[in-house]
Structure 1
């Protein structure tokens, strides 16, 4: 009699365990599907959130030329030399660009003046007692977010005049060469009315509004999305 009771209890326990395991599997499947749906939804939200600002950056970049000076190193002497080179180059280029209101014209001038830029930079370097080489080029460069007075330029790839000093392993200096924001106030605390007019002429209302209201691409990180990525990637 006792053995029969024990067998019944064992069968009942096995049945309960099977039922519990079945429920647990259902719960696991439910949560897995929920995580997959959430992951997909977040991915779509991120894509939609970033796509429009990215397109704005690309449109803005079509009308902007940046200026980029890279120091030989991060030593105080090399950083100071970088600023002296920057000042001399900007002073030289200003007369050629001050009345230009077309990016194609500005691009043509800057490409033509690359040898002059190298000559001016080399003279400054030599006069200061250094023997660093200089390379001036016109290329596409990535720039981080940068604020000029009331305008915030989104990070991304822009056309740029780049000046590399020596090993070019030091901190950079950059600004907007066209329209000529570089020539106004190097602290970027103000943007002249003339430069504002040129920006208004070159950019659409939407692009200009994006610069002034700082509607820029922002990297948003969701902890859940990161966790899902670790699970499924």
Structure 2
């Protein structure tokens, strides 16, 4: 009789342990799912905020040949020089969008002139739209991967490496080769973005600010993965 009682008690204990393990697994799965949902919402909010308050310039070369890449840089210089004058007094993103849209054909014309001067006959297409970008660093400012509004200039087949900068606020019009962005431009960024967005892109490379580095990586990972998945799906249905 005592053996039967011990067996029943042992069986009940095993079931309790099994139930506890099952509950722990369920709690762990729900915790991971909740963390993923919260992280994804954060990443989407950050990307939406950056996209709505920044305009990027994206120049894509015909190919990766040395000649085509050199041509891309000449086209870039001509566009920047032209837009620098047009956007000199623009402090508002909507005004900047209007100016860019009103000058798309002029941008194409200027680009064509540079191309013809270099004895090429490539076509050029300039358009405003929302495009996927990988993580990019400009001086001491880092923009995480995501979908951004941009002036996109495609030379010829557009099969070569691209060049980018930010038209609003005007990072394109300064020299960031020394690794720092002037405070005046950072102030423009600060007034355009939320405090969280500004802190994220200006201190992401600061090793002392671990929480910001983690949040930047969350946005970079989730938005970068989203871009890759979307690209793979698009290629499947072409």
Give the alignment's TM-score, normalised by structure 1: 0.77
Cα drift, residue 66 of structure 1: 0.4
* TM-aligned CA distance change 1:179 to 1:218, over 3 Å: closer
Distance 1:213 1:51, change over 3 A: farther
Q: Comparing 205-214 with 155-164, which one deviates more in the overlay?
A: 205-214
- Is 2:89 aligned against 1:89? no
Match of 1:98 in 2: 88
Identify which of 202, 219, 222 aligns with 2:221: 219
Three-state SS of the structure 1 residue aligned to 2:171 is: coil
Q: Note the residue ranges of structure 2 that are not aligned, 5 or more in a row.
A: 1-12, 205-211, 223-238
Change (3 A) 1:170 1:33: farther
1:200 aligned residue (190, 194, 207) = 190
Counterpart residue number, 1:52: 42
Counterpart CA distance in 1 for 2:58 and 2:100 is: 13
Equivalent positions of 1:10-159 (< 5 A) are 35-159=25-149
Q: What are structure 1's unaligned runs of at least 5 residues?
A: 1-22, 221-233
- Structure 2: distance between partners of 1:37 and 1:74: 51
Query: Shift in Å at residue 203 of structure 1?
Result: 1.8
Q: How far apart in 1 are the matches of 2:74 and 2:51?
A: 27
RMSD over aligned CA atoms reads: 2.6
After alignment, is 58-67 or 35-44 more displaced? 35-44
Per-residue deviation at 1:193?
A: 2.6
Q: What is the alpha-carbon distance in structure 1 between the residues aligned to residue 136 and residue 220 of structure 2?
A: 13
d(CA) in 2 for partners of 1:48 and 1:88? 44
